[in-house]
Amino acid sequence: MAKVLVVTSGKGGVGKTTSTAALGVALARDGQNVVVVDFDVGLRNLDLVMGAERRVVYDVINVIQGVVKLPQALIRDKRIATLSLLAASQTRDKDALTEEGVAQVIAGLRERFDWIICDSPAGIERGATLAMRYADAAVVVTNPEVSSVRDSDRIIGLLDAKTEKAEKGERIEKHLLITRYEPSRVARAEMLSIDDVLEILSIPLIGIIPESEDVLRASNLGSPVTLSNPASAPARAYVDAARRLKGETIEMTVPADKKGLFDKLFRRRAA
Amino acid sequence: MNFFGFGRRRSSAPIARERLRILLEHERATAGQKDLMLVLREEILAVIGRHVAVDPEKVMVKVDRGSTMSTLEIDIEVPNVEMRLVPA
């Protein structure tokens, strides 16, 4: 049965789009039929992170307005056959995203895919609430930093109030994904620890993504980190998170890059 | 890039710069205009529609935008029964 997953956070810049792309690739490489959907109408970026920016013809608003049918707007990934993208529109009015329209698009996607991963815009306005509206599960992306944790708390409240599942009295599955985590700074008590964040937000942890230069490199290349460098620490963390989403039990660790002696001697000073 | 830089991967920033340059050039040029691809699709379909009945759902449009040129690929399923050319 298809599963609709919203990747959300409240705060901008914490890694929603990066995580949508990385999880989408990880699930698709695992043989799942996956579509990643950009809900950030007016400011789309998932196409760029997925490396498909030159190939966008139609978007989700075109589908809602009936200009094209859903299959015509889906962009098949050139590298992974089981992965597709549905882009957000770049120019059109935000109000073009309607509740009925989103319901219809999600229903159409449910017939075609195992996973529908919705990349939410930042904020708590219409775009964000519509992205989560029909979700079965949510990945709340949080940085170990005060404003991000606070905004995640707001979003968790919205998930429990504004989603269709919540309104029907059902529980929406919520998972915490901590990104940009730096163990060395936590050790020096400069950064909130995993336990601190978990204690405050009290939703189950799905993964811990370490801060890494590989993530920036991946968006530069337009190739999600789970595709461009699967052996890297963040990619392994995303793959583990994707497997947990599928229901597998995997021990929670913070993958680390193996560092050579030179790195240890010289790069610490530079950091 | 450190002193012991051998064996390090090619830097990714030049690729990012080039991707953005192509994308933004296109987006700035088309801001506020009707999407050329939508216009082309409508007009090409209208021309073909004068001769045969085409199911709009059997039309796939693909685009690849490049720096100096782009490609437009339109895949139309034309039913066999109507293949006779209607004299203009």
What pLDDT does A100 receive? 96
Taking contacts as CB-CB distances below 8 angstroms, the residues of chain B near A48 are 19, 23
Best of B3, B19, B54, B75 to substitute, by most chain A Cβ atoms within 10 angstroms, is B19
Strand ranges in A155-253 using DSSP code E only, listed in sequence order? 173-181, 205-210
C-alpha B54/C-alpha B48 separation (Å) is: 8
Lowest-pLDDT choice from A33-47, A133-147, B35-49, B72-86: B72-86
- Mean pLDDT, range B60-68, rounded to an integer: 85
Tell me what pLDDT residue A271 has. 42
Q: What pLDDT does residue A218 have?
A: 97
Q: Is the pLDDT of residue B3 over 80?
A: no
Please report, for residues A67, A109, B19, the alpha-carbon distance to residue B65 in angstroms, rounded to integers and kept in the order given: 21, 26, 11
Q: What is the pLDDT of residue A259?
A: 64
The residue whose two tokens read 């680390």 is A256
Q: What is the mean pLDDT of chain B?
A: 77
pLDDT at B36: 75
Chain A partners of B31 at a C-beta cutoff of 8 Å?
Answer: 91
Query: Would you list which residues of chain B are within 8 Å, Cβ to Cβ, of chain A?
Result: 2-4, 9, 12-13, 15-16, 19, 22-23, 27, 31-32, 37-38, 56-57, 59-66, 70
- With a CB cutoff of 8 Å and minimum separation 6, the contacts of A137 are A3, A4, A5, A6, A172, A173, A174, A175, A245
Task: Count CB neighbours of B9 within 10 A.
Answer: 9
What is residue A185's predicted lDDT score, i.e. its pLDDT? 92
From chain A, the residues in CB contact with B8 under 8 A are none
> How many CA atoms are closer than 13 Å to the CA of B2, on its beta-carbon side?
13
Record: contact B4-A266, CB cut-off 8 A: yes
Which of the 8 DSSP states describes residue A81?
Answer: T
Encode pLDDT of A48-82 as tens digits.
999 999 999 899 999 999 988 999 999 999 999 99
Token pair of A237, please?
Answer: 């963390």
Per-residue pLDDT at B66: 83
* A193: alpha, beta or left? (left if phi > 0; alpha if psi -120 to 50): beta
Report the predicted TM-score, pTM, of the whole model to 2 decimal places: 0.88
Tell me how far apart the alpha carbons of residues B34 and B4 are, in angstroms, rounded to a whole number.
52
Give the residue ranges of chain A where pLDDT is below 70. 91-92, 258-271
Out of B2, B15, B64, closest to residue A220 by CB: B15
Quote the pLDDT of residue A256: 87
For residue A29, the model assigns a pLDDT of: 97
Give the span between the Cα atoms of A92 and A61, in whole angstroms.
8
**Chain A residues whose beta carbon lies within 8 Å of the beta carbon of residue B63:** 54-57
Residue B1 has a pLDDT of 45
Could you tell me if A174 and A144 are in contact, meaning their C-beta atoms sit under 8 angstroms apart?
no
pLDDT value, residue A270: 47
Say whether B34 sits in a helix, a strand or coil: coil
Q: Which amino acid is at A73?
A: A
DSSP letters of A14-63? Answer: SSHHHHHHHHHHHHHHTT--EEEEE--TTS--HHHHTT-GGG----HHHH
Is the distance from CB of A131 to CB of A8 less than 8 angstroms? yes
Question: Residue A53 is nearest to which of B19, B32, B56, comparing CB atoms?
Answer: B19
